[in-house]
Chain A
Amino acid sequence: MSWYYAFLSQAWSDYQVFEDLNESRHPNCHKLHYLQMTTEKLAKACLMEINGNSPPKTVHKAFVGFLRCTKSYPLWKKRLGYGHKKQAYAAYINRMIQIADKIEKLAPAISGTSQPNPEYPWSPCAGDVRCPADYDFPEIRRHELGMITALVANLFRALDIKNEGD
């Protein structure tokens, strides 16, 4: 199995868990956790397709980089259904980069111990410790999460990865 295929497979598996969690009544933190992991691995796989099949760096930042990369990569513009609509695609990707940045910062290694993340408790100031399961994550608006959910579903479909029967 190549690095590209391994990352893509793991991203798809994470996405399946995200879909199950998404339809459940579990706290939002668990959905965000799996959404962050899906986007990270999916982006790493897609970057390997562009830059070559070498093992990616062990960092959590990848989603924003991938989206930036697609702006100058016509194949992705075409895959995502924008054809010759260069300006519309750039406007959409710029919007998505803003939201992807918020998703990327959810990784605990990036958020640190003072910023919200969906996995571990954090402390915004001395004496105040917060728990992800009790936190509403207002930093990412509902509309933004709706847009990212649609993008992720479309990225998998663009790579022709789908559930049986779809």
Chain B
Amino acid sequence: MSKKRQRKRQQDKKFKRISFPTRSSDAIKRLQEHARKITAEGGVVGNIEKVLEQAKKLASEARETDPNITKIYWFPHDQEVRLIEADENTIKSLTGHVEPFYFDSTAEIPVPSGIAIIRPDEVGKLEMPKGWGDWENGKEL
């Protein structure tokens, strides 16, 4: 066998090792994925309620400290609080996007959250952040 061919065969073997995992590892991955889905499906309702509870807590605090807030919309997600607060005393968006600040979970709010502030007349008009869905998904708190 020529050296060139030998090199190509070695490269092919290397490529196969990298690109194609063994059947057993595939099976483990599928099982892990299945288990994750079962856990998620079993826990989704409970988690949404937990997230909603935190969303209401954040909304209540925001209303207490910021009297210019006219409306607060919650966008349901089972792992993160997503709120858009309409505030009279904020800037009109020049970007056309809702721009949230995302918070890591804290001792006070044990789930991550994303909070965006827009003007009341921009509700339903601005482009939503990636993964938040449409304005129709929003529920007023």
Tell me the bound Cα distance from A147 to B87 in angstroms. 9
When each residue 92-123 of chain A gets 1 if its CB lies under 8 Å from chain B and 0 otherwise, what string results?
A: 10010000000000000000000000000000
Contact B118 A142 (CB under 8 A): no
B103-129 at interface with A (beta carbon < 8 Å): 103-104, 106-108, 112-113, 115-118
Q: Does B90 make an interface contact (CB < 8 A)? A: yes
Interface size on A, residues (CB 8 A): 30
Distance between Cα atoms of A22 and B108 in the complex (Å): 19
A126 interfacial contact with B, CB 8 Å: no
* Contact indicator A150/B65 (Cβ below 8 Å): no
Q: Which chain A positions have C-beta within 8 A of B106? A: 28, 136
Select one of B65, B89, B97, B116 contacting A141, CB under 8 A.
B65
Pair B94/A157 contact, Cβ less than 8 Å = yes
**A139 near B: Cβ within 8 Å?**
no
Instruction: Report which A residues bind B (CB closer than 8 A).
Output: 22-23, 25-28, 31, 80-81, 91-92, 95, 136, 138, 141-143, 145-151, 153-154, 157-158, 162, 166
Total CB contacts across the A-B interface at under 8 A:
85
Report 5 cross-chain contacts, Cβ distance below 8 Å, ordered by A residue.
A25-B104, A28-B106, A92-B90, A149-B99, A154-B95
A146 touching B117 by the CB < 8 A rule?
yes
- Residues of chain B contacted by A147 (CB below 8 angstroms): 87, 90, 117
Contacting residues, chain A, for B102 (C-beta < 8 A): 22-23, 31
Given contacts A81-B91, A150-B90, A150-B118, contact A145 B99 (CB under 8 A): no
Do residues A142 and B95 form an inter-chain contact, with CB atoms below 8 A? no
B66 touches A143 (CB 8 A): yes
In the complex, the answer to whether B103 meets A28 with C-beta atoms within 8 Å is yes
